[in-house]
Amino acid sequence: MAPPGPDTTAKLLSRPEAVRWRRGVSGPVVFTNGVFDILHRGHVEYLAAARAEGAALIVGLNTDASARRLGKGPDRPLNPEADRARVLAALAAVDAVTLFDEDTPRELIAALEPDVLAKGADYEIEDIVGADLVAARGGRVVRVPLVRGFSTTDLIGRMRRGET
């Protein structure tokens, strides 16, 4: 039997823990956020590219209630926040995960003061929540190219239609 993998629960941080963690990182801290409901190749490549922009990556994860308010459908998220957080924490590209319950991550971004804010290239800079906060502190906002053909919403649609 193979030995168990590394315990990734240490990467799961409350907001106060995340703020303390951020202060202890030497080098640029990258922040990104999302629901990450069903992790797929597009997510993994996106997170790896975001992580490459700095010394550490922290992911702000929408709580279940916050995700529901995004209007992705009454049955979303499919996976509960604790499970989504554990899956993200298991990725090598992710250094820390913290939940946020607000409609946007603006308050979390203000508390963490990341050096780099990363979002998918499907967002325009002026539409990225917190971009103004990061830029005002001299940080960078990065639009990460997305992998074509990978979307959780599309994936769920294909599964419901019985397509593979």
CATH domain 30-160 topology = Rossmann fold (3.40.50)
State the burial class of residue 129 (Cβ atoms within 10 Å of its Cβ: 0-12, 13-18, 19+): middle
Confidence check: pLDDT of 149 > 70: no
Within 10 angstroms of residue 7's Cβ, the number of other Cβ atoms is 8
The per-residue pLDDT for range 86-143, each reduced to its tens digit, is 999 999 999 999 999 999 999 999 999 999 999 998 888 999 999 999 999 999 999 9
Query: Where residue 146 falls among pLDDT bands split at 50, 70, 90?
Result: confident
Task: Give the per-residue pLDDT at 27.
Answer: 96
Say which residues have a Cβ less than 8 Å from residue 94's Cβ, sequence separation at least 6.
11, 47, 51, 57, 58, 59, 88
Tell me the mean pLDDT in the region 55-74: 92
Domain ranges of the chain: 30-160
Task: Give the per-residue pLDDT at 155.
Answer: 58
The per-residue pLDDT for range 68-80, each reduced to its tens digit, is 998 877 788 989 9
Task: Give the per-residue pLDDT at 65.
Answer: 94
Confirm whether pTM is higher than 0.85: yes
Phi/psi-derived region of residue 124, left when phi > 0, alpha when psi is between -120 and 50, beta in every other case? beta
